[in-house]
Amino acid sequence: MLALRLRSLVCAVTALHLARVQEAAEVLRLPEYVTQAGLMAVAYPKGPSFRPAPRRGVGEVVHQDFWRS
């Protein structure tokens, strides 16, 4: 990801395509012996600047010992 950033590219790792793993394998022409685990989408960013996305605080998204709502 850092190497992509040096080339003015951005990426996102996803596993959403696994719901349609056979179709993804056909589009990507993957051999039968390949197991899909994730997909890295790479693109040039839209707009003139790159900035971090807004994020919630760690305390809002990390839970220890039990789920807090």
Query: How confident is the prediction along the chain (69 residues), in pLDDT tens digits per residue?
Result: 889 988 989 899 999 989 999 999 999 899 999 999 999 999 998 877 777 778 888 888 887 777 765
pTM above 0.85, yes or no: no
CB-count burial class (<10 Å; 0-12, 13-18, 19+) for 7 = exposed
If phi > 0 it is left, if psi is from -120 to 50 it is alpha, else beta; for residue 64 that is beta
Q: Please give the pLDDT value at position 20.
A: 94
